Amino acid sequence: MTAMPSHMLLSTTVPRYTSYPTAPQFHAGVTDETVLGWLDQVAEGERVSLYLHIPYCERLCWFCACHTRQTLRYGPVAAYLTALKEEIRLVGARLVGRGVVGEIHWGGGSPTILTPEDMRALQAFTAEHFTLAEDCRLSVEIEPTTIDPARLDALGDIGLRRASIGIQDFDAAVQKAINREQSFESTAAVVDGLRARGVPSINFDLIYGLPQQTLESLGATVRQALSLRPERIALFGYAHVPWFKKHQTMIDTASLPGPEARLALVGAAETAIEAAGYMPVGIDHFALPCDSLARAAREGRLSRNFQGYTDDGCRTLIGLGASSVSRFAQGYCQNAAAQGDYARRMAEGRLATVKGIALSSDDEVRGAVIERLMCDFSLSSRDLLRRFGRAAEPVLSTALALAQAGGGLVAEGETFRVAGDARKMARLVAAEFDAYRAGSTARHSLAV
Query: pLDDT confidence of 247, banded at 50, 70, 90?
Result: confident
Would the pTM count as exceeding 0.85? yes
Residues 186, 75 within the same domain: yes
Indicate the pairing of strand 325-328 with strand 331-335: antiparallel
Give the chain's domain count. 2
Residue 333 confidence (pLDDT) above 90 = yes
β-sheet bridge partners, residue 378: 417
Residues 304, 394 within the same domain: no
CB distance 429 to 395 below 8 Å: no
Question: To the nearest whole percent, how much of the chain has pLDDT over 70?
Answer: 95
pLDDT, residue 323, reads 96
Query: pLDDT confidence of 67, banded at 50, 70, 90?
Result: confident
Span 174-221, pLDDT tens digits: 999 888 899 999 999 999 999 999 999 999 999 999 999 999 999 999
Domain membership of residue 394 as a residue range: 360-435
Residue 342 confidence (pLDDT) above 90 = yes
Query: pLDDT confidence of 313, banded at 50, 70, 90?
Result: confident
Q: Is residue 167 part of a domain?
A: yes
Residues 166, 264 within the same domain: yes
Span 271-306, pLDDT tens digits: 999 999 999 999 999 999 999 999 999 999 999 998
Residues 178, 246 within the same domain: yes
Span 9-66, pLDDT tens digits: 556 778 999 999 999 999 999 999 999 999 999 999 999 999 999 999 888 877 777 7
Residue 7 confidence (pLDDT) above 60 = no
Residues 71, 218 within the same domain: yes
Indicate the pairing of strand 378-380 with strand 415-418: antiparallel
pLDDT, residue 250, reads 78
Phi (first) and psi of residue 197, to 5 degrees: -95, 15
pLDDT, residue 239, reads 82
Question: To the nearest whole percent, how much of the chain has pLDDT over 90?
Answer: 81
Q: Is residue 120 part of a domain?
A: yes
Q: Is residue 50 part of a domain?
A: yes
Residues 278, 401 within the same domain: no
For the chain, give the secondary structure using H, E and C: CCCCCHHHHHCCECCCCCCCCCHHHCECCCCHHHHHHHHHCCCCCCEEEEEEEECEECCCCCCCCCCCEECCCCHHHHHHHHHHHHHHHHHHHHHCCCCEEEEEEEEECCHHHCCHHHHHHHHHHHHHHCCEEEEEEEEEEECCCCCCHHHHHHHHHCCEEEEEEEEECCCHHHHHHHCCCCCHHHHHHHHHHHHHCCCCEEEEEEEECCCCCCHHHHHHHHHHHHHCCCCEEEEEECCCCCCCCHHHHHCCHHHCCCHHHHHHHHHHHHHHHHHCCCEEECCCEEECCCCHHHHHHHCCCCEEECCEEECCCCCEEEEECCCCEEEECCEEEEECCCHHHHHHHHHCCCCCEEEEEECCHHHHHHHHHHHHHHHHCEEEHHHHHHHHHHHHHHHHHHHHHHHHCCCCEEEECCEEEECCCHHHHHHHHHHCCCCCHHHCCCCCCECC
Residues 282, 372 within the same domain: no
Residues 307, 365 within the same domain: no
Residues 309, 428 within the same domain: no
Residues 315, 381 within the same domain: no
Q: Is residue 166 part of a domain?
A: yes
pLDDT, residue 274, reads 98
Compute the average pLDDT of residues 125-148. Answer: 96
pLDDT, residue 442, reads 67
Single out the residue in 294, 320, 346 at which a domain terminates: 320
Compute the average pLDDT of residues 367-374. Answer: 97
Cis peptide before 109 (omega within 30 of 0): yes
Span 381-418, pLDDT tens digits: 999 999 999 999 999 999 999 999 998 999 999 999 99
Q: Is residue 419 part of a domain?
A: yes
- Residue 282's identity, in one-letter code, is G
Query: pLDDT confidence of 244, banded at 50, 70, 90?
Result: low
CB distance 336 to 403 below 8 Å: no
Q: Is residue 447 part of a domain?
A: no
- Residue 169's identity, in one-letter code, is D
Q: Is residue 444 part of a domain?
A: no
Residues 255, 126 within the same domain: yes
Cα–Cα nearest to 247, from 91, 66, 378: 66
Residues 241, 380 within the same domain: no
Residues 6+ away with beta carbon under 8 Å from 379:
369, 372, 373, 399, 415, 416
Q: Is residue 204 part of a domain?
A: yes
Span 77-124, pLDDT tens digits: 999 999 999 999 999 999 998 999 999 999 998 999 999 999 999 999
Domain at 84, CATH number: 3.80.30.20
Domain at 404, CATH number: 1.10.10.920
